[in-house]
Amino acid sequence: MKKGFWQMVGFVTLLVAGGGAWFFLTVGEWNGPKIAAEGDTSVIGRQKVLTVAFSDAGRGLRRVSVAVTQDNQRRPVATFDYPGAGVGQKSLSVTIDTAVLKLHDGPATLTLTAEDYSLWKNKTAIELPVTIDLMPPQIAQLNSTHHINPGGSCLVTYRLSKPVVRTGVQVGDLFFPGYPLTPAGQSAALPAVQPAAPPAAQPPVAGQTAVQPSVPPTTHPVGQATYAAYFALPMDLTKDTKIALVALDQAGNETLSGIPTQILNKKYRSDKMLLSDGFFNQKMPEFQATIPELRGKPLFDVFLHVNTVLRKQNLLAIQEVGKKTEPRVLWEGPFLRMKNAAPMALFGDHRTYLYEGKQVSESIHNGVDLASLVQAPIEAANHGVVRFTGPIGIYGNSVIVDHGLGLMTLYSHMSAIQAQVGQTVKKGDVLGKSGMTGLAAGDHLHFGVAIHGQFVDPKEWWDPHWIEDNVTKKMTAAY
Ligand SMILES: [Zn+2]
């Protein structure tokens, strides 16, 4: 009898405890919802898309809301109600439109709230201090009209009224980053300034800035930074190709400023390349050895693959290397052209490939082919840092040298490489020996100049007058 009684008590206790546990774990849970805002919430521009992750581990979300408070006035942005329990998490994107909300420049508070389906309606609210910034960056261009060749290079210098997260030149679909030249920009990217050094007394040292500011940067208006950007003009640009400076601030305010240009009338050549079985026998097995899918295929098909698919892949690989660049000018003076070398092919040559009298393929030559002696020394065209060494498909053994601000030179078809990635080189330093690796029929150097991976005519960079008018004068005026 007694035993049964205690059993009953135990059973009831368990029931109550269990019921209580069930209650406090479900309908009566005390855990508030969680709120996490994504990305940068410290500043809001004219419009901001804010993404917030709301979650509730218990009964689920009942109501979530976003609001902005300025001058003690709460402006609701969005409220979402969930009609039934069980919504565990929601990621919501809301647009904060400062014009609609009548917000002005200055401090404000972003309030994010969430309520759950517990009996207690647990509520979580977070308040984030924000700055409303409605002022887009102002771009002041420091040059008048730029005269540019299709396939050529251009330098643009400009001042920005405030710090930015992204700036540069947009040419159609291509973007060329700009780099700060003065301390009001990001200081990490500053060139080493040596104002006291007389220009002739010190030989140029690779790795140091080659362009010396003529005026101390502190003379610029407070808060304004001077920037420089190189850009490439595509050979195939049309009248509709937009060329504009872009500046985007932290708040998302973006300014576009068209660059005044005069496009010169530059014509490029056409060239015929005669393909032979001898050439296929000489060159194609090498590509079959490195690309398994080409093994066992007719050599003509191998050539078509190499000249189209591989050519494209190689260009993308070079463009990838071009993304890493020193944020300051490393080079000085005209670029070196290979000594005593005859030009075999020019930049921009439109090549038509003929096999057994028929046109079978085409390409655009994106460098200059220079031939002198077999295994001639290949010299760095200017000061810089070696960014790549090794084989690149049709280009064969290659070296890529970074000259800063996205400007690079490419040396291809080499028989030997005598440089290492990360090595600082001076103008004239030997990088290796010429050869005929890759898709070369004879010993020569394929020399390329690229701006952020876009190849341009090297001829301009060999020409001291072009450099003086198009780079040096603009840079000097910018400092
Ligand atoms: Zn070439």
Q: Which residues pair with 400 in a beta bridge?
A: 388, 410
pLDDT category of residue 22 using cuts at 50, 70 and 90: low
Q: Give the C-alpha separation, 357 to 193, whole Å.
A: 60
The residue whose two tokens read 């000018």 is 329
Q: From ligand 1's centre to the CA of 388, what distance in Å?
A: 18
Q: From ligand 1's centre to the CA of 12, what distance in Å?
A: 91
Q: Are residues 230 and 280 in the same domain?
A: no
Residue 213 has pLDDT above 50, yes or no: no
Q: Which of 434, 432, 442 is nearest to 283 (CA)?
A: 442
CATH number of the domain at 98, please.
2.70.50.50
Q: From ligand 1's centre to the CA of 325, what distance in Å?
A: 24
Which residue among 132, 147, 164 closes a domain? 132
Q: From ligand 1's centre to the CA of 442, what distance in Å?
A: 11
Residue 197 has pLDDT above 90, yes or no: no
CATH number of the domain at 155, please.
2.60.40.10
Structure tokens at 44: 């809001």
Q: From ligand 1's centre to the CA of 154, what distance in Å?
A: 23
Q: Are residues 230 and 213 in the same domain?
A: yes
pLDDT category of residue 293 using cuts at 50, 70 and 90: very high
As a 3-state breakdown, the chain gives helix, strand, coil percent values, each rounded to 5, of 20, 40, 40
Per the CB < 8 A criterion, the answer to whether 248 and 134 are in contact is: no
Residue 424: half-sphere exposure toward Cβ, Cα within 13 Å: 9
Whether 9 maps to a domain, the answer reads no
Q: From ligand 1's centre to the CA of 324, what distance in Å?
A: 24
Q: Give the C-alpha separation, 375 to 444, whole Å.
A: 8
Q: From ligand 1's centre to the CA of 462, what distance in Å?
A: 17
Q: From ligand 1's centre to the CA of 439, what distance in Å?
A: 9
Q: From ligand 1's centre to the CA of 366, what distance in Å?
A: 7
Angstrom distances, CA of residue 109 to CA of 40, 192, 360? 14, 41, 66
Q: From ligand 1's centre to the CA of 445, what distance in Å?
A: 7
Q: Are residues 261 and 275 in the same domain?
A: no
Task: Name the residue type at position 117.
Answer: Y
Per the CB < 8 A criterion, the answer to whether 139 and 248 are in contact is: no
The total of structural domains in the chain comes to: 3
Whether 27 maps to a domain, the answer reads no
Q: Are residues 221 and 301 in the same domain?
A: no
Residue 379 has pLDDT above 70, yes or no: yes
**Cβ contacts of 314 within 8 Å, gap of 6 or more:** 392, 393, 394, 395
Residue 419: half-sphere exposure toward Cβ, Cα within 13 Å: 32
Q: Which domain holds residue 248?
A: 139-190+207-266+471-478
Q: From ligand 1's centre to the CA of 395, what distance in Å?
A: 8
Q: Are residues 78 and 170 in the same domain?
A: no
Q: From ligand 1's centre to the CA of 405, what distance in Å?
A: 25
The mean-pLDDT minimum among 161-170, 180-189, 291-300, 413-422 falls in 180-189
Q: From ligand 1's centre to the CA of 299, what distance in Å?
A: 21
Q: Give the C-alpha separation, 432 to 418, whole Å.
A: 5
Q: Are residues 254 and 281 in the same domain?
A: no
Query: How does pLDDT run across 260-269, given as a tens digit for each residue?
Result: 999 998 899 9
**Cβ contacts of 20 within 8 Å, gap of 6 or more:** none
Q: Are residues 158 and 299 in the same domain?
A: no
Q: Are residues 310 and 443 in the same domain?
A: yes
Whether 447 maps to a domain, the answer reads yes
User: How many residues belong to the chain?
Assistant: 479
Residue 369 has pLDDT above 80, yes or no: yes
CATH number of the domain at 310, please.
2.70.70.10
The mean-pLDDT minimum among 85-99, 182-196, 359-373, 402-416 falls in 182-196
Q: Are residues 259 and 274 in the same domain?
A: no
Q: Give the C-alpha separation, 117 to 319, whole Å.
A: 54
Torsion (CA) 286, 292, 296, 297 in degrees, nearest 10: -80
Q: From ligand 1's centre to the CA of 369, what distance in Å?
A: 5
Q: Are residues 244 and 369 in the same domain?
A: no
Query: How does pLDDT run across 230-266, given as a tens digit for each residue?
Result: 999 999 888 889 999 999 999 999 999 999 999 998 8
The runs of H, that is alpha helices, within 204-323 are 277-290, 299-305, 311-321
Q: Write the DSSP assignment of 179-215 as a string of letters.
A: EE-STTS-GGGPPPP-TTS-TTTS---TTS-SS--SS
Q: What DSSP character marks residue 145?
A: P
Q: From ligand 1's centre to the CA of 159, what distance in Å?
A: 38
Q: Which residues pair with 54 in a beta bridge?
A: 35, 90
pLDDT at 20: 65
Q: Are residues 236 and 357 in the same domain?
A: no
In degrees and rounded to multiples of 5, residue 217 shows phi and psi of -60, -20
Q: From ligand 1's centre to the CA of 124, what distance in Å?
A: 65
Q: Give the C-alpha separation, 138 to 170, whole Å.
A: 16
The SS3 call for residue 337 is coil
Structure tokens at 5: 């009684």
pLDDT at 279: 94
